[in-house]
Amino acid sequence: MLQGVKNMAIEIIVDSGCDLTVQQAQQMNLILLPFVVRIGNTDYLDRVSLSAEEFYEKLIEETELPKTSQISPYAYQEAVNSVKQRGNQALIITITSRLSGSHRNALLAAQQAQKDVVVIDSLSASIGEQLLVKRACQLRDEGRTLLEMETILNDEKKYIHIIALLDTLEYLKKGGRISKAASIAGSLLGIRPVIKAVGGQIEVIGKARGSRSGNNLLIQEVVNSGGIRFDMPYALAYSGLSDRRLQKYIADSRPLYEGKTDSFPISICGSTIGTYAGPEAVICAWFANKPCTKNT
């Protein structure tokens, strides 16, 4: 358990699936619980004993997909107990319950604590989850109560959109996160799949031949959502050892943000999400004016 917490009434507990670095979590006064990732016969703590860059170096070398373990009830209980010992309340934000049992384990810790602990299922991952964490920090710093934070975050999370342009669906197929039929549809030579998370589940929404076509699909999704709310957190991310494809997307999507922001917070996906996204992915997350729904 890593923490960088000052004296405050509400402390926020998050998992490394939100793709914040240890340093960022400390700066935001978060308690960060790392996932355990097994590569070969070795276990690593995501973001702690294994950096994102080191993970992709190993991912490329390995023939078997890394295995990620959910955060245990004990880890959550230990974090909650430390918060309560300081006389504070705890807000736990978890990676989507559709991808990990960590949410269930957080609920067990909250039940044991009996009071002053709230658990929120982000129904997202990576920078989608990260946006909800950043929004929680804003509410905490505004002096909101635990109940107010729970109500606001559960309402606003419906407006978080997260989409990705992948290099391949192979990693999602190996990890059992999409059907075989969906993986075949996106496996044609030169075709890059576009996916989105809806209600915590992954949906393939398009296929593109080349980066320019893929970037256009990402841009259209942003437009269809009603656009980016620049008064709320937003972020971009990439996977792998190079951000060249992300930089190409930033250049192609300039009309979306020109005159509204000069830069985007950028993350590199860690092992929790990188295991399934694989290298060379471009990921976008934002609060929109319309709720995130299935594409028709």
Query: Average pLDDT for residues 237-260, to the nearest whole number?
Result: 97
Residues 6 or more apart whose CB falls under 8 angstroms from that of 199 comprise 98, 123, 292
Domain final position from 134, 158, 182: 158
Amino acid 296: pLDDT = 59
Q: What is the pLDDT of residues 115-168, one digit of tens each?
A: 999 999 999 999 999 999 999 999 999 999 999 999 999 999 999 999 999 998
In a domain, 27, yes or no: yes
* Residue 140: exposure state from Cβ atoms within 10 A (0-12, 13-18, ≥19): buried
In a domain, 141, yes or no: yes
Please report, rounded to a whole number, the percentage of residues in the chain having pLDDT higher than 90. 80
In a domain, 296, yes or no: no
Both 184 and 120 in a single domain? no
d(CA 74, CA 287): 33
Number of domains within the chain: 2
Q: Is the pLDDT of residue 181 over 50?
A: no
The candidate with the shortest Cα–Cα distance to 152, out of 287, 284, 29, is: 287
Both 64 and 144 in a single domain? yes
In a domain, 294, yes or no: no
CA terminus-to-terminus distance, the chain? 42
Both 128 and 92 in a single domain? yes
CATH number at residue 280: 3.30.1180.10
Amino acid 210: pLDDT = 86
Q: Is the pLDDT of residue 37 over 60?
A: yes
The candidate with the shortest Cα–Cα distance to 252, out of 165, 142, 153, 161, is: 165
